[in-house]
Amino acid sequence: MKFGIYYAYWAKEWGGDFLPYIEKVGKLGFDVLEVACGAFHLSPDSYFRELRAAAQANGVILSGGYGPRPEHNLANPDNAAVKEAFRFYADVFRKMELAGIDRIGGALYSYWPVDFAAGFDKRADFERSVKNMRTLADLAADHGITLCMESLNRFEGYMINDASEDTAYVRAVDKPNVKAMLDTFHMNIEEDSVPDAIRSTAGLLGHFHVGEANRRCPAPGGRIDWKAVGGALRDVGYDGYVVMEPFVRMGGTVGKNVSLWRDLSCGADDAQLDALAAQSVHYLREVFAE
């Protein structure tokens, strides 16, 4: 297993320049930097070659995340809109390959955050999403990319809320580069047993996010049993990435999208945030090896 962190720990807006984070996370003890792919269309090809070179120079692996905007919702009954979404994703995948990124995770099967007031038809959306995901999987395969379907809690999504819905979706799509993805923050809300949920994804798990119940960095003394999480990942032979996705600072679109209305960083400055992340990855490596 490789250990990573999502750049948005330090950011208030999605996108931006990921280059400075590559060296930073390497120095903090991470193997992987996860970046947001939703704004890839705004940067030229040369930028993604720079990302690849910087990652190689620092011994850091890059992974991708995306919470699709409504116009990229694969469950949309409007076929013309879905066709536009395929065009958007094709450009993202090509740039991911330039940057050396071989996997992307998130609610790629739907959109995020969901506007529940708009209403939805879960069954019909599932069927359209599965059909369109098969096409998206082929587009991704052209660039050697795996798509990871992140199970989200009920307050952020409706199509895949737990590991059983996740594996059902992945089996329905039935493409080798479409995998399940779990996040301990969401699992803490939805699963009867976090370790059993992980074990139920054996052979299908493509990506894994970690965070405390309140999305702080994993640490001893919290409500997630990290030893049990690591044990379950080992039970299923998981050899992918474990990426922490802490959100502790309010503000901006990031703070709004993750519903952060209080300062969970306790007023930490940048140096203190760095130190917390470094302690956390050190702890995870130790407890997952037990």
Q: Which residues bind Mn ion (CB under 5 A)?
A: 183, 209, 245
For the question of residue 150 being annotated catalytic, the response is: yes
Nearer to Mn ion, 209 or 249 (CB): 209
CA distances from 53 to 23, 64, 114 (A): 12, 16, 36
- Considering the candidates 150, 156, 165, 191, report the single residue annotated as catalytic: 150
Residue 133's Cβ-side half-sphere holds a number of Cα atoms within 13 Å equal to 26
Least Cβ distance, residue 109 to Mn ion (angstroms)? 14
Q: How far apart are CA 141 and CA 125, in angstroms?
A: 24
Question: What is the three-class DSSP state of 29?
Answer: coil
The one-character DSSP state at 231 is H
The residue among 32 and 54 lying less far from Mn ion, judged by its C-beta, is: 32
In this complex, which beta carbon is closest to Mn ion, that of residue 8 or of residue 178?
8
Question: Rounded to the nearest whole angstrom, what is the least distance from the CB of residue 164 to Mn ion in the complex?
Answer: 18
Q: How far is the CB of 264 from Mn ion (least distance, A)?
A: 16
| Coil vs helix vs strand at 256 | helix
The smaller minimum CB distance to Mn ion, of residues 26 and 157, is found at 157
Torsion, Cα of 135, 201, 166, 7 (10° steps):
-80
Of 92, 104, 107, 59, the C-alpha closest to 241 is 104
Region of residue 95 (left: phi > 0; alpha: psi -120 to 50; beta: else): alpha
Chain position carrying tokens 């931006």: 16
What's the closest the beta carbon of residue 113 comes to Mn ion, in angstroms? 13
In three-state secondary structure terms, 217 is coil
Which tokens is 21 given?
């984070």
When the beta carbons of 179 and 209 are compared against Mn ion, the nearer one is: 209
Rounded to the nearest whole angstrom, what is the least distance from the CB of residue 152 to Mn ion in the complex? 8
Q: Which of 50, 156, 191, 245 is catalytic?
A: 245
| Annotation says 245 is catalytic | yes
The helix or strand, by DSSP H or E, that contains position 184, with its residue range, turns out to be helix 184-190
Between 166 and 245, whose beta carbon lies closer to Mn ion? 245
Query: Would you say 35 and 5 are in contact if contact means Cβ atoms under 8 Å apart?
Result: no
Nearest to 86 by CA among 131, 56, 23: 131
Q: Find the shortest distance in angstroms from Cβ 66 to Mn ion.
A: 11
- Write out the catalytic residue numbers: 150, 245
